[in-house]
Homo-oligomer: A and B are copies of this chain.
């Protein structure tokens, strides 16, 4: 790790100007009519000296950093971890790095993170936002800053977004449970209910139930805090159980809630699906092979990530994004397993 080679060194070594070398490096040589022979000579030397441009200097000069920021509520939630992984792969293939931020469903923290990332001059932002309003993103739109909302979006937001059809997912879950003969239900969701995912999933679910003439009573609409889900689920479920008010079926609105619910049901000795059926939103590997296996609404995580990255990349490249591609909604899939088997 001796003193780093600079552009000037390379230029001097070749007896040419820095401009020339710079142009070659940035593939602007042709456009400037640099002779092919010179280009070869330069490239040769660069390889020979193993010269690597100082990315910081480049970034400083151009304002571009070849870095994108990813903000999600919690990178250790496997759903977001998978998204991060896919995004990282696409980013890597285009020479981009990704910086991660977990917002903890905390709007203030998320805003700070956005500020930090902008300040760090990331070239774009992919966000699963916990914010209550779309203001912050409207500002980004106004300033033309490349960004895309993933997983969660806002009503009437102008920001490009990639989401799944959460409403339809809720409907699918409800229809399936109804078809199985269940007729009393509970929903378990997390508490800041401005989140588009949560509200769409639950509205889809209740809409389908309403069509069958069924309402979810207040005490069956269980809301728990993001960072205290397990405990709160246990308390609520224990309460229902003791009062012999258990619903026939439960819809858990994300994978964390599904896992937490399964755990607490198990601890309470409530059998699935005998005592209560269960269907979750978002699939996990283990749902498929445990006893009972767990029915879910599955989301196309890879596709979600791919579209998000493309949408972002095209903004960075200053390609115009057609209006109709700006709000991508991907289909979900009902996977029926044992946890929602025929009612007895």
Which of chain B's residues have a CB closer than 8 A to the CB of A56? 56, 59-60, 63, 65, 120-121
A28 at the interface (CB under 8 A from B): no
Does B67 contact A76, Cβ atoms closer than 8 Å?
no
Shortest C-beta distance, A150 to chain B (Å), equals: 15
Q: How many copies does the complex hold?
A: 2
Shortest C-beta distance, A54 to chain B (Å), equals: 8
Which of chain B's residues have a CB closer than 8 A to the CB of A55? 119-121
A84 at the interface (CB under 8 A from B): yes
Which of chain B's residues have a CB closer than 8 A to the CB of A226? none
Q: A1-B139, A60-B59, A119-B52 given as contacts; is B67 within 8 A of A99 (CB)?
A: yes
Pick out which of these stretches binds chain B: A7-15, A37-45, A285-293: A285-293
Bound-complex Cα distance A67 to B59 (A): 15
A245-289 contacts to B, CB under 8 A, are 259, 262-263, 266-267, 285-286, 288-289
User: Could you list some 21 contacts between A and B, CB below 8 A?
Assistant: A1-B139, A52-B115, A54-B119, A55-B119, A55-B120, A56-B59, A56-B120, A56-B121, A60-B60, A67-B120, A74-B85, A76-B78, A76-B85, A84-B100, A85-B102, A99-B99, A262-B289, A263-B285, A263-B288, A266-B289, A286-B286
Instruction: Spell out A's residues near B (CB within 8 Å).
Output: 1, 52, 54-57, 59-60, 63, 65, 67, 74-78, 81-82, 84-85, 88-89, 92, 97-102, 115-117, 119-121, 139, 142-143, 145, 259, 262-263, 266-267, 285-286, 288-291
